[in-house]
Amino acid sequence: MAHETTDHVLAQLVRLVNGSDLEFSLTLMVNGQTVTGRLISSKKWFELQAGRLKESTQAEEGEVGLHSIFEGWAEVTSEYNDELKRVQEALKDIELPDRYQNAVAEAETPIGFLHLAGARIYGPNGFQPVEGMPWRGRLEHVSGWSIGELKASRS
């Protein structure tokens, strides 16, 4: 669940991305550091991590390893989001008292983290890593954000 000081607009954008294939560039201020990349779903983040683990361990196709855990989490995340959508859709046309309608409308995957692809952290030596990486951060630690990705200036 998002912390009470979490930006509700950013939380809604993360929910939107988590329930779709949508992604877009985002720059965040997190604990005094600038992080920039493409906002992606948690499912895609797990898939990216699984791929990185598979590559780094040189796992063969079909081989079970650490990457399999991340592949499983990607699948569970996807199934949960799909099931939640089906339940919300099924209850859409049923006459329920307002308090139940509100509870159904607000029932969403708890949002505590956001995920970036190609994330780079800005520091004294510029952006690191240069090529970017999958990144996961606590939504409640974001103190500021902007749509768009920072690029290194050409000096």
**pLDDT value, residue 18:** 86
pLDDT at residue 68 in the model: 76
**The predicted structure's pLDDT at residue 113:** 92
The residues near 117 (Cβ < 8 Å, ≥ 6 apart) are 23, 37, 38, 40, 44, 45, 48, 132, 134
Measured at the CA of 131, the angle between CA 133 and CA 34, to 5 degrees, comes to 65
Report the chain (155 residues): mean pLDDT per 10 consecutive residues.
74 88 95 95 90 77 72 78 73 75 64 93 84 93 94 67
pLDDT value, residue 39: 97
Q: What is the pLDDT at residue 138?
A: 94
Burial class (CB in 10 A: 0-12, 13-18, 19+), 138: middle
Provide the pLDDT for residue 111: 80
What pLDDT score does 19 carry? 80
